[in-house]
Amino acid sequence: MNDIALPLLEELHTPASVEAADATDFLAVVALNNAVCLIESGVPDLGSAPEEMLAMWQDQTDNVQRYFVVREDGEIIGAGMFEYATAEPTSTNLDILILPEHWGRGIEDALLLRAEQETRALGRQVIQAWTLHRAGTGEDTLSPRTGWGRLPSTPHSRALQEFGFTLEQVERNSAFDLHAPMDAVAVAYEEAVVAAGADYRVVEWTLPTPPQWRDGYAWALSRMSTDAPSGALEVDEETWDAERITRRDARFIAGGQTVSVAGVEHIPTGTIAAFNELVIGADPTEATHQYCTLVLKEHRGHRLGMLVKCANLLRWREVAPQSPRVTTFNAEENRPMLDINEALGFVPVSYAGAWQKKLV
């Protein structure tokens, strides 16, 4: 931690809308977030529209989000998003947003210290944070304790290291060209249908989730916390139900986003055995984001991961025909999912690091 006077942090309030007179600071933080995502990753697809971010701010039932900012001459030059899930008690998350010219001035130290103070006040034991990294390694690289993947060192990663964080996981950001021929995807889909067999069938919907799938979707989403690779990160088992699904759907819709879900029903039990989500904002020409993809552990070995990925990509051509590409993050140790991505034509474009500090 730098031995300098720490800048004063100010907490932002949530405006009623992006057009409200008091939304200026909120819009400045959105712009800062998008600029930092572009600079750190080198790709233009990782930002968020103001409407999308505001929808998450306004409903804090399941996730509390607070923004702390630093000003200079009235301008916001640094910000931190402090977040935690209300139903899961162990960890908090901090996203640091600082432009390159302002690193090393103590802004990062003030934000990290405040996050630790807030985490302790909540009675929680873990802070987690994420960094974005451009493709390419360079000479000064970092590797997580899992040994999977490497990242180039950055001012952001060095600040976390100095504050006691450990790199626990590397994720690969891959992109898929939606305007390229989809013949290989169609063939892979048909092969996966045969491999899955008669006990499984594809089900698809666009949010809001139909009532008959809310409970199964909730159970499948809860399994992201237990079945997806998480390195050495402390991850609580999440609790989901139909009401939480309804609230999540409402936040997406309020933010102007369209979400397509491809699931696989296990016919003998009527449960969702696998699912994939594709998301786009109000601009039909922007990149598509793949959010969650999972095959529940007890249903693995039937090519269901390939089945849901292909089903949703083929469906997406009709849902969002102008979107140029899909972007997705997968843990470097998640070789089964990376194998699927690579077979379909996804290519690496950037990386992310998952960091953790345990409080004692």
pLDDT tens column, 278-288: 999 999 999 99
- What radius of gyration, in Å, describes the C-alpha atoms of the chain? 20
First to last CA, the chain: 18
Tokens representing 198 are 């008669």
| Distance from C-alpha of 35 to C-alpha of 27, rounded to nearest angstrom | 12
126-134 vs 10-11, strand pairing mode? unpaired
| Distance from C-alpha of 115 to C-alpha of 81, rounded to nearest angstrom | 9
Q: What is the pLDDT of residue 3?
A: 54
Rounded (10°) CA dihedral 134, 137, 139, 143: 100
Q: Are 185 and 314 in contact (CB under 8 A)?
A: yes
| Distance from C-alpha of 337 to C-alpha of 330, rounded to nearest angstrom | 7
Q: Which residues of the chain have pLDDT under 70?
A: 1-4, 137-139
Q: What is the pLDDT of residue 138?
A: 67
| Distance from C-alpha of 139 to C-alpha of 334, rounded to nearest angstrom | 25
Interhelix angle for 50-58 vs 242-254, to 10°? Answer: 140
Q: What is the pTM of this model?
A: 0.95
DSSP 241-260: -HHHHHHHHHHHHHTT-EEE
Q: What is the pLDDT of residue 4?
A: 58
CA 218 to chain centre: 18
Counting Cα atoms < 13 Å in the Cβ hemisphere of 292 gives 18
